[in-house]
A and B are shown apart, each in its own frame.
Chain A
Amino acid sequence: MTMSSVGSIVSSVKVRRSTTASNIALAVSIVVVIALAIGPFAFLTKGNQQNLVTLFIYIIMGTMWNLLAGYAGMVSIGQQAFIGVGAYGVVYAADQIGIGPVAAIPAALVIAGVIGYLVSFLAFRLSGGYFAIGTWVIAEVIKLVTTQIQTLGAGSGISLTAFSGYKPALRIATVYWMGLASVVIAVAVTYLLMRSRLGTGFTALRDDPTAAATLGVNVTRGKRIIWVVAAMGCGLAGALLAENTLRVQPDSVFSVQLTATMLFIVVIGGIGTIEGPILGALVYFALEHFLIDLGAWYLVILGIVAILMVLFLPQGLWGLISGRGRISLFPTGYRLMTNPATPPAVATQDNAV
Chain B
Amino acid sequence: MQWANAIVQGVILGGLYALLAAGLSLMFGVMRLVNLAHGALAIVAAYMGMVLVNKTGIPPFATLLIVVPVMALVGWVLQRTLLNTALNRQALAPILVTFGLAVILQNLMLELFTADNQSIDVGSLAGASIQITPDIAVGVFPLITFVVGVFVIAALQLYLAKTTTGRAMRATSDDREAAQLMGIDHRHIYALATAIAVGLVGLAGVFLGVRTQFNPTFGDVTLIFAFEAVIIGGLGSLWGTLWGGIILGVAQVVGAQAFPSSGVLLGHIVFLLVLAFRPTGLFPKVVNG
Contact of A311 among B85, B99, B110, B220 (CB under 8 A): B85
Q: Quick one: given A132-B95, A310-B89, are A144 and B33 in contact (CB under 8 Å)?
A: no
A304 contact set on B, CB distance < 8 A: 100, 104
Pairwise interchain contact A133-B36, C-beta atoms closer than 8 A: yes
Within 8 Å of chain A (Cβ to Cβ): is B148? Answer: no
Within 8 Å of chain B (Cβ to Cβ): is A299? Answer: yes
Pairwise interchain contact A296-B107, C-beta atoms closer than 8 A: yes
The interface residues of chain A, by DSSP majority, are classed as helix
Pairwise interchain contact A75-B92, C-beta atoms closer than 8 A: yes
Pairwise interchain contact B36-A77, C-beta atoms closer than 8 A: yes
Task: Tell me the minimal C-beta distance from A336 to chain B in angstroms.
Answer: 26
Contact of B90 among A145, A256, A314 (CB under 8 A): A314
Mark interface residues in B258-281 (1 if CB within 8 Å of A CB, else 0).
000010110011011001100100
Within 8 Å of chain A (Cβ to Cβ): is B66? Answer: no
A296 contact set on B, CB distance < 8 A: 107-108, 110-111
Pairwise interchain contact A129-B97, C-beta atoms closer than 8 A: no
Task: Tell me the minimal C-beta distance from B250 to chain A in angstroms.
Answer: 18
Q: Quick one: given A129-B36, A133-B36, A296-B107, are A311 and B265 in contact (CB under 8 Å)?
A: no
A138–B94 CA distance with the chains assembled, in angstroms: 22
Within 8 Å of chain B (Cβ to Cβ): is A122? Answer: yes
Pairwise interchain contact B100-A303, C-beta atoms closer than 8 A: yes
Q: Quick one: given A129-B95, A306-B96, are A311 and B89 in contact (CB under 8 Å)?
A: yes
Identify the stretch in B158-166, B174-182, B223-231 within 8 Å (CB) of chain A at 4 or more residues: B223-231
B97 contact set on A, CB distance < 8 A: 307, 310-311
A58–B73 CA distance with the chains assembled, in angstroms: 38
A267–B100 CA distance with the chains assembled, in angstroms: 11
Pairwise interchain contact A303-B36, C-beta atoms closer than 8 A: no
Q: How many residues of B contact A (CB 8 A)?
A: 45
Task: Tell me the minimal C-beta distance from B190 to chain A in angstroms.
Answer: 15
Range, interface on chain A: 35 or more
Pairwise interchain contact B223-A256, C-beta atoms closer than 8 A: no
Nearest A residue to B276 by beta-carbon distance? A122
Within 8 Å of chain B (Cβ to Cβ): is A43? Answer: no
Within 8 Å of chain B (Cβ to Cβ): is A36? Answer: no
Pairwise interchain contact B227-A267, C-beta atoms closer than 8 A: no
Q: Quick one: given A141-B268, A307-B101, A311-B97, are A256 and B220 in contact (CB under 8 Å)?
A: yes
Within 8 Å of chain A (Cβ to Cβ): is B93? Answer: yes
Within 8 Å of chain A (Cβ to Cβ): is B150? Answer: no
* Docked complex: B151-207 residues within 8 A CB-CB of A: none
Within 8 Å of chain B (Cβ to Cβ): is A99? Answer: no
A136–B220 CA distance with the chains assembled, in angstroms: 9
* Docked complex: A92-129 residues within 8 A CB-CB of B: 121-122, 125-126, 128-129
Nearest A residue to B108 by beta-carbon distance? A300
Mind listing 27 A-B residue pairs with CB under 8 Å?
A: A75-B96, A125-B275, A128-B32, A128-B95, A129-B36, A129-B95, A130-B227, A130-B231, A132-B95, A133-B36, A134-B231, A140-B224, A144-B264, A148-B265, A260-B99, A296-B107, A296-B110, A299-B103, A299-B104, A302-B103, A303-B104, A304-B100, A307-B96, A307-B101, A310-B86, A311-B89, A314-B89
Name A residues whose Cβ lies closer than 8 Å to a Cβ of B: 69, 73, 75, 77, 121-122, 125-126, 128-130, 132-134, 136-138, 140-141, 144-145, 148, 256, 260, 263, 267, 271, 295-297, 299-300, 302-304, 306-307, 310-311, 314
Known contacts A134-B275, A263-B99; can you find 13 more A-B pairs with CB under 8 A?
A75-B96, A75-B99, A77-B36, A125-B279, A126-B275, A128-B95, A129-B95, A260-B99, A296-B107, A296-B108, A296-B110, A303-B103, A311-B82
Name B residues whose Cβ lies closer than 8 Å to a Cβ of A: 28, 32-36, 82, 85-86, 89-101, 103-104, 107-108, 110-111, 220, 223-224, 227-228, 231, 235, 262, 264-265, 268-269, 271-272, 275-276, 279
